[in-house]
Amino acid sequence: MEIAENINALFGRTTEQISNAPRSLDILPIGTQARVTGVTGSGAIARRLLEMGVVPGAPVRVIKAAPLGDPIEVRVRGYHLALRRTEAKTISVTSD
C-alpha cells in the first residue's frame, strides 16, 4: 500500500483521485457500484450495449462472475445483464 501511495504521490495523485478516475467495467471488484461514462469501440456490440441502456450516466453494479471468472453479471436499469470481460472492457465507468 505504502509503495503504491508513494508512486502515486510521485505522479502527484492521491489514491482517492485514482478511484474516481475513469476505468473499465471489467476490472471493477464484485459488488461495486459505478456510473457509466462511455462505451468505446464501434460496431454491433457497442450499439447493442447502448440500446440495452448502458449509456453515459447510467448506474451499473457488478453482481458476480461466472464460476470460471468470465462472463460477469451486472445490474443496469433494474435488470441483469451477462457480458464477457472483453465486452466489459469497452465500457468505461467512474465510481460514484
All three cell numbers of 51, joined, read 440500446
Q: Which stretch binds another protein (CB under 8 A): 1-9, 10-18, 19-27, 77-85?
A: 77-85
Q: Any contact of residue 46 with another protein (CB under 8 A)?
A: yes
Q: Any contact of residue 64 with another protein (CB under 8 A)?
A: yes
Long-range contacts of residues 46-53, Cβ cutoff 8 Å, at least 24 apart: 46/90, 49/83, 49/87, 49/90, 49/91, 52/76, 52/81, 53/77
Q: Which is nearer to another protein, 2 or 96 (CB)?
A: 96
Residues interacting with another protein, by CB under 8 A? 38-40, 42, 44-53, 55-56, 58, 63-64, 66-71, 73, 77-84, 86-87
